[in-house]
Amino acid sequence: MYSLNAAIKLVDGLSPGNKEPNIGRLLRDAGKLTSADAERVVQLQKAEKLRFGEAAIKLGLIVEADLQHALSQQFAYSHLSLGEGHFSPELIAAYEPFGDQAEQLRSLRSQLMLRWFSKGHKTLTIAGIHAGDGGSYLAANLAVMFSQLGERTLLIDADLRRPRQHGLFNLGNPPGLSELLAGRVSMSAVTRIPAFPNLSVLTAGAVPPNPAELLSHASTPIKLKNLAEHYDVILIDTPAAQGSADAAVVAARTGAALLVLRQNHTQLAAAAAFKASLASAGAVLIGTVLNRF
């Protein structure tokens, strides 16, 4: 990742005949600067030997968030201004990609790439012990981050009890995984997210009366295999492990799970029991994430 100063330096590298850097054009196209504003910025830039973005901020014409958004376009790095896209503010990978939490998520993404996806695997289960531990939050943000990396990413909401992904991505309540597993819809149930060109979401769909049976159905591995032909990374959000075997069932299909633990809330005995259930299902616990919130 570029530091802000390094990114500004790269963007502001002008060829001899240019009066305005690309970043200036992006800011004007976004309606953040007028042509007159850009001229004032260039004058201050030359007088004080500043980068274009630094000069625009110093003049009070833009704020740092505006600059970050323009830089993301310059480097083909998709993220959104607050409120844009009408997604949940919990999607910090979309709305706050340069904060501390986003950096921690990038570190986790790197570890998952090295320890799992780079070894030929495409699917990974995300699980929490209790509802509210942060499994859905983590799955959604990791999906955005993998898509920002250029990976063709699919997020599947396999929580057929208390689904959340349709709400996080403001997708309404379209047919989804439950209908797909029941044979009522095709792969067309997958929804592409225009704001993130490499990201698609398969919502949970209607909450069925028999989620465990649907997830355990013999056709489930075949459907996952078909989906894997079209994506580089598939993350599967699952129900809380405490109270149902759904997460372990899904992990058996994917081969591995990432477990989310909530500080001062998740009991280690419950986490150990989940790890044992994974082992008995032939899956591995690839790692754990501690949610401090």
pLDDT in tens, 91-112: 999 888 888 898 999 999 999 9
Residue ranges making up the domain that contains 24: 4-77
More confident residue, 70 or 114: 114
Q: Are residues 69 and 147 in the same domain?
A: no
Q: Are residues 104 and 53 in the same domain?
A: no
| Contact indicator for 126, 233 with CB cutoff of 8 Å | no
Q: Are residues 52 and 195 in the same domain?
A: no
User: What is the 3-class SS of the chain, one letter each residue?
Assistant: CCCHHHHHHHHCCCCCCCCCCHHHHHHHHCCCCCHHHHHHHHHHHHHHCCCHHHHHHHCCCCCHHHHHHHHHHHCCCCCCCCCHHHCCCCCHHHHCCCCHHHHHHHHHHHHHHHHCHHHCCCEEEEEECCCCCCHHHHHHHHHHHHHHCCCCEEEEECCCCCCCHHHHCCCCCCCCHHHHHCCCCCHHHCEECCCCCCEEEECCCCCCCCHHHHHHCCCHHHHHHHHHCCCCEEEEECCCCCCCCHHHHHHHHHCEEEEEEECCCCCHHHHHHHHHHHHHCCCEEEEEEEECC
Q: Are residues 200 and 120 in the same domain?
A: yes
Q: Are residues 148 and 244 in the same domain?
A: yes
Q: Are residues 252 and 145 in the same domain?
A: yes
**Is residue 179 scored above 80 in pLDDT?**
yes
Could you give the CA distance from residue 33 to residue 48 in angstroms, rounded to a whole number? Answer: 20
Q: Are residues 120 and 209 in the same domain?
A: yes
pTM of the model: 0.76
Q: Average pLDDT for residues 152-159, to the nearest whole number?
A: 97
Q: Using 50, 70 and 90 to split pLDDT, how confident is the model at 142?
A: very high
Q: Using 50, 70 and 90 to split pLDDT, how confident is the model at 285?
A: very high
Structure confidence by residue, pLDDT tens digits, 208-247: 998 989 998 877 888 888 888 999 999 999 999 888 899 9
Q: Average pLDDT for residues 184-208, to the nearest whole number?
A: 92
CATH of the domain at 171: 3.40.50.300
Model pLDDT, residue 77 = 57
Model pLDDT, residue 6 = 34
Q: Are residues 155 and 63 in the same domain?
A: no
Q: Are residues 270 and 165 in the same domain?
A: yes
Q: Which of 25, 60, 77 is the last residue of a domain?
A: 77
Instruction: Indicate the number of domains in the chain.
Output: 2
**Is residue 9 scored above 60 in pLDDT?**
no
Q: Are residues 126 and 179 in the same domain?
A: yes
Provide the b/e sequence for 173-183 (b: ≥16 CB within 10 Å): eebbbbbbbbe
Q: Using 50, 70 and 90 to split pLDDT, how confident is the model at 89?
A: very high
More confident residue, 14 or 99: 99
Q: Average pLDDT for residues 49-77, to the nearest whole number?
A: 74
Q: Are residues 166 and 221 in the same domain?
A: yes
Q: Which of 18, 44, 77 is the last residue of a domain?
A: 77
Q: Which of 54, 77, 100 is the last residue of a domain?
A: 77
Q: Are residues 274 and 255 in the same domain?
A: yes
Q: Average pLDDT for residues 2-28, to the nearest whole number?
A: 47
